[in-house]
């Protein structure tokens, strides 16, 4: 097996390996002619720099770790696109890991990123992540951290790029109200997750502003998977017959509910209006197409990565721990009907 190192090259040319190293890094301490000879020999031998060694010595890794619940969600995959774009522009590699909403997996991943000495971490935490003990390790290891979307409320010393979920919840709810709905149920996610609390709070504010009564018996929490959507639809058909609109905190559950309600003979939006959150691609395909809130994943990814790289470059200096908040937008489709 090939094992070409700078020492191989040095030996072949009868020069010192330090000169080879400098030549390969295009240092001006090496004469042009020597440089050329070295580069040629390197190509000839099929030399590939060993990043492990280089990074160990330089105490960097040139790599950004991205941790998120799952890559298959549209919002996250567009965020990845944004992150990769920016990272590439600055010469960083990106490694992506999925927590699959499991805290234990997230801990493993984080530990792994730390031991692999990534230069920075961008994270959107799992549904099971309440406190951030494992995340504190990141800070203690001196690795810059940026949250995006799902964050931990009181976590200090990190940048954050968030969606104004309260505004999103508000927009969704007010839209339903404008459609003439009077009794609006809200199906939220785990309440120890900031984003879901905020969507709920936006829902409350919209009700309040429009003089509707907030009744906590019309608010539910679940993990918002497909099965949860079905369970909620079932609930709408039985216990919640007076409800004329439902605001789901994500599209997946909203769509599962729509399918179930249709099968049960309900008309959407006439009998019950439905609104989701996230603007997944399927929300456009389902019939009726789903009114939802768009979060601009690409932009959030881009901004998170820019903030992170800014902090990586600052080194030990005071980091930029600002919180950037993006505005979500309402995408009106056929599952709600404004009159």
Q: Which does residue 102 bind out of DNA, a second copy, none, counting CB within 5 to 8 angstroms by kind? A: none
Distances (CA, A) of 84 to 73, 114, 125: 16, 20, 19
Q: What is the DSSP string of 103-117?
A: HHHHHHHHHHHHHTT
Would you call 226 exposed, middle or buried from its count of C-beta atoms within 10 A (0-12, 13-18, 19+)?
middle
Beta carbon of residue 207, minimum distance to DNA (angstroms, whole number) = 55
Least Cα distance to 198 among 52, 326, 56 occurs for 326
Q: Which does residue 6 bind out of a second copy, DNA, none, counting CB within 5 to 8 angstroms by kind? A: DNA
Q: Select 289 or 310, whichever has its Cβ closest to a second copy.
A: 289
Q: Select 58 or 314, whichever has its Cβ closest to DNA.
A: 58
Torsion angle defined by CA atoms of residues 123, 145, 61 and 64, in that order, rounded to the nearest 10 degrees: 30
Residue 1 engages DNA in binding (rule: CB under 7 A): no
Q: Select 112 or 201, whichever has its Cβ closest to a second copy.
A: 112
Residue 143 engages DNA in binding (rule: CB under 7 A): no
Q: Select 97 or 292, whichever has its Cβ closest to a second copy.
A: 97
List strand residue ranges (DSSP E) for 40-172, in order: 63-68, 93-98, 120-123, 145-148, 159-163
Q: Which does residue 84 bind out of a second copy, DNA, none, counting CB within 5 to 8 angstroms by kind? A: a second copy
Pairing of the two strands 329-331 and 292-294: antiparallel
Residue 21 engages DNA in binding (rule: CB under 7 A): yes
Which listed residue (6, 79, 206, 254) binds DNA by CB under 7 A? 6
Least Cα distance to 241 among 262, 218, 213 occurs for 218
Mask: binding to DNA, 42-81, rule CB under 7 A, as x and -? -----xxxx--xx-xxxx----------------------
Beta carbon of residue 36, minimum distance to DNA (angstroms, whole number) = 10
Q: Please, what sign has the CA dihedral across residues 208, 213, 216, 218?
A: negative
**Which positions touch DNA (CB under 7 A)?**
3, 5-7, 14-19, 21-22, 24-25, 28-34, 47-50, 53-54, 56-59
């Amino acid at each position: 097996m090939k094992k070409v190192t700078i020492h191989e090259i040095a030996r072949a040319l009868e020069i010192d390996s330090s000169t080879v190293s400098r030549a390969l890094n295009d240092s001006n301490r090496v004469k042009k002619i020597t440089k050329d000879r070295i580069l040629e020999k390197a190509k000839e031998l099929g030399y590939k720099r060993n990043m492990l060694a280089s990074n160990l010595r330089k105490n960097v890794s040139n790599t950004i770790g991205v941790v998120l619940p799952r890559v298959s969600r549209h919002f996250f995959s567009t965020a990845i696109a944004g992150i990769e774009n920016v990272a590439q522009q600055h010469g960083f590699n990106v490694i992506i890991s999925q927590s699959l909403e499991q805290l234990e997996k997230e801990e493993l991943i984080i530990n792994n990123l730390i031991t692999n000495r990534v230069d920075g971490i961008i994270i959107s935490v799992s549904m099971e992540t309440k406190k951030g003990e494992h995340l504190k390790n990141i800070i203690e290891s001196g690795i810059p951290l940026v949250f995006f979307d799902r964050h931990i409320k009181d976590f200090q010393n990190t940048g954050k790029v968030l969606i104004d979920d309260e505004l999103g919840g508000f927009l969704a709810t007010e839209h339903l109200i404008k459609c003439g709905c009077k009794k609006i149920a809200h199906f939220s996610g785990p309440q120890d997750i900031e984003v879901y609390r905020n969507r709920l709070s936006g829902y409350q504010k919209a009700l309040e502003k429009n003089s509707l009564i907030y009744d906590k018996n019309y608010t539910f929490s679940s993990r918002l998977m497909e099965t949860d959507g079905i369970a909620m639809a079932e609930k709408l058909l039985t216990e919640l017959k007076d409800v004329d609109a439902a605001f789901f905190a994500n599209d997946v559950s909203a769509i599962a509910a729509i399918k179930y309600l249709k099968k049960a003979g309900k008309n959407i939006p006439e009998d019950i209006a439905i609104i989701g959150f996230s603007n997944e691609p399927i929300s456009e395909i389902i019939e009726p197409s789903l009114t939802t809130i768009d979060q601009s994943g690409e932009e959030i990814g881009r901004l998170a990565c820019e903030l992170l790289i800014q902090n990586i470059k600052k080194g030990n200096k005071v980091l930029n721990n600002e919180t950037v908040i993006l505005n979500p937008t309402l995408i009106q489709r056929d599952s709600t009907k404004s009159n």
